Chain A
Amino acid sequence: MMYRYLVLWCTVAVVLSSCVSELTPVDMPVIDYAAELAGTDPLTEGSRPSILSGVYVVETGQGRLGDTVAVRFDGRRLGIYAERNVTFVGAIGASRGDSAIVIGTWRAITNQDAGRVDLVVSAGEGGRDLVQGKGNGRGLILRGTVRIGSKTDGLVLRKLGAIKARLRGFQIIAHRSGGRNSERLGRSENSIPMMLLASSLGATGIEIDVHATKDGVPIVFHDPTFTARTVPSPYMIGDVNNYSLSQMRIAARLVYGEQIPTLREALSAVIDSTELTLVWLDVKNASVVDSILQIQREMIDYGTRKGRKLQILFGIPSNDILQAYEASPLVGSVPVLCELDPTTARRLKAAVWAPRFTLGTQESVVRELQRDGCDVYVWTLDDAAFIRRYIAADLFDGILTNYPTLLAWGFYTRQIEP
């Protein structure tokens, strides 16, 4: 009898203590780019990045990438974006003789595959033209392998055509500065390392969340409370604004060990170390609206001095933030993104109106606001079918998503320029 009850208690204890499903980290390969690219030349000398950028058909490797991928190349960094398993490749391109080489990391977000990619554009498959900056790259072939664990698969990508630009421009906006902790990207959401990764994920802009410390310092953090999901330190519990910045500096580390950045630190990092063109400040705490506006103004000036084309938008998601904004002596001094109704967006002369996607495309209202010079971003789209539908509408000037890779794929492959 005693034995049966003992087994029962032990079972209950084991089951209950196992209720938390911890996210296992995804190990990305570490590549020593300096060593591996020794003896190569940058592709920018003589070549044109647009030759390598484009929409590619996947001839080998459809099981991992799907039928088409988008490739973006800025002269050094190369990104490949695929719909299948929301896969992205962050790589470096260089030339060696008449050929181009590309090495980088592979990550599939929905199935956690991670590995290394090695690609070559040989001289006879478009490499010579690429290095010499000739032609448009149509028919160019990226050929190589992806190694995931002990398995190596072949990849062959053939360029179909160029990426078609949109006249009004288009922002691929990454939620929580690039990705959520649940995506296991090796960087914490709303951390500076995640902001630095955002471009590799396909984003052209980021949304960051702004809370406040007890001593009134705006910080970049999503939730109103500290939980084990975001800050594992056992001393950091309860409301974020119970703690001063100095206390956070002592004890608060994000899940991958980073500090919680102040708003000023985050914007400085975006200006100094990224090529992002948009930062959407999702303001969560009305008590620090004045401080946020002040920092935003200073950082806009700083970006201008550094020659950066970066738009920093003060987000108004709720009426309490709206009231604090309108009561501020700095009202009207910075560009605003309004998530409230279109009438309020017009009254505020908002640079951007940002409706929720569940309200539908609202075509007539969107077009009317756009005629008045207001851009329209929609949030938050994560489903491939919805992303395709909203892109096909060719209506919005930007989309906010947790999967910038998926949105980049959907946008760049929407229409292939012959």
Chain B
Amino acid sequence: MRYRLLILTLFLCAASAHAALRDSLYRIELVGSVLVQATSYDVAPTSLSATDRFTGSSLTGRAIWRPNHLLGIGFQTGYTTFSAEEFGENLPVQQTNAYASLRAIPLQLVLSMRAYGVEVGTGIGIYLLESIWRVNGEQRVNSTATELGVSSWIGYDIEVVDRLSFGPELHLHVLSGRGIVALGAGLQIRYDVIRY
């Protein structure tokens, strides 16, 4: 395994050094974003929930290969908190408080188009959902499931130094099977790892 990593590292270094010497047409870029997110459920998560809308946060990261075309293809992952709430009153059972949260890790194939600093993309794949429960501060329960979903985003970035740029991003997650729609707004940072 370490020999493969070594070969891959050497290849990336060589490609990077080679790419730096001339005008770029092909590249591999890494993009990370930090977003504040609003989530809407089709139905309130519990009978005790006061609302079906929640705020949370989201981190996403994607690696995209951009050949000499407008279209790029890559992989996206991240960590997003759709909702978290505490129940302290009117519990139907004899507990004094409970906490529940729904989080997700997207694992998606993404297609993206970037031109004039504007990027539009769509991801298709699964979300690893994780439900976290605590009752009276104890009985922590983590239960997981997978769900199909799509994401879309639009962003704009400005290059601040060679290969490095940043800008605003809007990001949408849709898990129609679970009735979840989440829209996030935040900042993205982009780095061209390889140019050739």
Contact = CB atoms under 8 A, between A and B. Distances in A.
A binds B: yes
A19 B174 CA distance: 11
A213 to B, nearest CB: 11
Contacts of A247: 98, 133, 135, 139, 141
The dominant DSSP class at the A interface is mixed
A253 interface: yes
A94 B164 CA distance: 82
A343 interface: no
A234 B150 contact: no
Nearest to A257: B47
Contacts of B94: 246
Given A19-B176, A247-B135, A238 B98 contact: no
B91 interface: yes
Contact of A235 (B42, B46, B120, B144): B46
B76 interface: no
B56 interface: no
B36 interface: no
A385 interface: no
Contact of B46 (A1, A12, A226, A250): A250
A250 B122 contact: no
Interface in A301-324: none
B153 to A, nearest CB: 10
Nearest to A227: B145
Nearest to B41: A234
B121 A244 contact: no
Nearest to A232: B43
A73 interface: no
A242 interface: yes
A389 interface: no
A19 B148 contact: yes
B189 interface: no
Contacts, number: 114
Nearest to A238: B143
B92 A242 contact: no
A234 B43 CA distance: 9
Interface residues of A, number: 35
Interface stretch (A2-10, A47-55, A62-70, A288-296): A2-10
A357 interface: no
A236 interface: yes
Interface string A224-235: 011110001111
B93 interface: yes
B87 A250 contact: yes
B95 interface: yes
B45 A233 contact: yes
B143 A242 contact: yes
B129 interface: yes
Contacts of A13: 122, 150, 152, 174
B113 interface: yes
Interface of A: 1-2, 5-6, 9, 12-13, 16-20, 214, 225-228, 232-239, 242-247, 249-251, 253
27 contacts: A1-B70, A2-B115, A6-B113, A6-B120, A9-B111, A9-B152, A17-B150, A17-B174, A20-B177, A228-B177, A232-B42, A232-B43, A233-B43, A233-B45, A234-B180, A235-B100, A235-B131, A238-B144, A238-B145, A242-B141, A243-B141, A243-B143, A244-B135, A247-B133, A249-B93, A250-B91, A250-B100
For the complex of A and B, 5 pairs with smallest distance between CB atoms: A238-B143, A237-B145, A246-B93, A242-B143, A251-B46
Interface of B: 41-43, 45-48, 70-71, 82-83, 87, 91-95, 98, 100-102, 111, 113, 115, 118, 120-122, 124, 129, 131, 133, 135, 139, 141-145, 148, 150, 152, 174, 176-180
